[in-house]
Amino acid sequence: MYDTVFLLVKATIQTKHKTAHEAITEIQQQATCTITNTKKVKIKKLKFMDYKLKV
């Protein structure tokens, strides 16, 4: 069976950026994430989704 699931990540951060938007943009561009296969689940594709903030 193929399906799409959305996994949320909670991150507590400290930043020198002036706005949360700048910090989120930096994280989206430079962060890495490792999610591995399990015995019954094979990861086919993984990507960070853009989070748009209203400024």
Per-residue pLDDT tens digits for 12-31: 999 999 998 899 889 888 98
- Own/partner long-range contacts of 45-52 (Cβ < 8 Å, ≥24 apart): 49/6, 51/24
pLDDT digits (tens, 9 = 90+) for 38-49: 999 999 988 887
Dihedral of the alpha carbons of 42, 44, 48, 54, in degrees to the nearest 10: -110
The reported pTM is 0.61
Q: Is 4 exposed, middle or buried (0-12, 13-18, 19+ CB in 10 A)?
A: exposed
Residue 49 DSSP symbol:
P
Whole-angstrom Cα distance, residue 22 to residue 16? 10
